[in-house]
Amino acid sequence: MRPSPAALVVLAGVAAALHVGKLPPALPALQLELGLSLLQAAFLLSAVQLAGMALGLAGGALADAWGARRSLLAGLTTLALASAIGGFVTDATGLLVLRGIEGLGFMLAVLPAPGLVRQLAQPGSESTWLGLWGAYMPLATALALLLGPGCVAAFGWPAWWWSLAAVAALAAVAVGWGVPAPARVASSEPAARGALQRFANRVRRTLAAPGPWAVALAFGCYSAQWLAVIGFLPTLAAGQTLALAPAWIAPLTALVAAANIVGNLAAGRLLQAGWRAGRLLALGFAAMALAALATFATVDTTPWLPTPLRYAAVLLFSAFGGLIPATLFASALRLAPDPGHQASTIGWMQQGSSAGQFAGPPLVAAVATAAGGWHWSGAVTAAFCAAGLVISVWIAALLRQRGG
């Protein structure tokens, strides 16, 4: 029996996102072998977001014009090649360049995927599938945190890179075999002569609408703090912030990333049941702020809560945060100027997300370095949450104008 095409697209997203999540478990080995500082490691963590930060809207417009399936295949192929080459690199500069190329492949793979999932899903199940799609990143991060440390310890970080190159290649084969080319969706944009003019019209119309701006800013506020906390989670777990036993670091940090999946799936179910997107976004941002403050709170540099409660707080940070991406993907498809601009809108949202992911880890690392510890990190994440709450009100108003 052939698997569901929508499921194959979600799994392809997981295969692509593994290349974002593959760095945290390899950071200790890379720091040892390449002599990276904490701030350099933060930029290496963020480098994969450069392409999305610079070209998200353009990539989305290209995917709208080029075709979702073709863009997904091109992205997976790019990831496979860049990761395979990366395993042979022996200096930080070369690895940084290839991380940027991986970012391009990641962008090509994931920008058209939400619209593709929506088209391939059975009628009436679209919100559930979009909830599953919203979980692609935390699922990949959890798998990377769980499997990566063992692979790196046993075979070295290059083998980890080559293994994930093979995963991306297999995903491309699966998509080519099991995902049909979807029907073209109609666009209400005026006819234009020439591909360049059509491309420019698509970009212009996306940027002229308020919806793409709102979801992009909200996703940036979310992703900046989530990647900063999850990206440094192995470091936090080994240090005083979480103080986990060494044998438990890999499974417990993977569980934190996996907790985000629960929030994504819950958001899909709740949206299907009639919950308002603004309500879910506000709940997610408020819970993330409180949980982060509890995780990092100290009294005279001593953690305020005992280790089990700090770990529970970071679990809640990830789980409630999972309400946000699934809700934003569903909202972005509704707030696109028209169905023919869905990938463009997702692209602009991804651009906001990538900017947040690029800025978040270095900002948190810089504050931690200046403060001599992680105790001010909760204030940084709370500031992002406060901005996210304001934007949530804006998104709710835009959705009401669209009749939902």
Rounded to 5 degrees, what angle do the CA atoms 220, 357, 108 make?
Answer: 90
pLDDT in tens, 247-292: 777 788 888 888 998 998 899 889 988 899 999 999 999 999 999 9
**Region 5-180+193-401: CATH code:** 1.20.1250.20
Task: Classify 241 as helix, strand or coil.
Answer: coil
8 pLDDT band, cuts 50/70/90, is: very high
Taking the C-alpha atoms of residue 357 and residue 353, their distance in angstroms, rounded to an integer, is 6
Q: Name the burial class of residue 115, with classes exposed (0-12), middle (13-18) and buried (19+) by CB atoms within 10 angstroms of its CB.
A: buried
**CB half-sphere exposure, 133, CA atoms < 13 A:** 29
Q: What's the one-letter identity of residue 93?
A: T
Residue percentage of the chain with pLDDT more than 70: 88
What tokens does 53 get?
């930060």
pLDDT in tens, 337-396: 877 777 788 888 888 988 888 788 888 888 888 888 777 888 899 999 999 999 999 999
pLDDT in tens, 73-113: 999 999 999 999 999 988 878 888 898 889 889 888 988 88
**CB half-sphere exposure, 66, CA atoms < 13 A:** 20
Taking the C-alpha atoms of residue 303 and residue 294, their distance in angstroms, rounded to an integer, is 9
In this prediction, residue 55 carries a pLDDT of 65
In this prediction, residue 16 carries a pLDDT of 96
Pick from 100, 111, 102: nearest CA to 43: 100
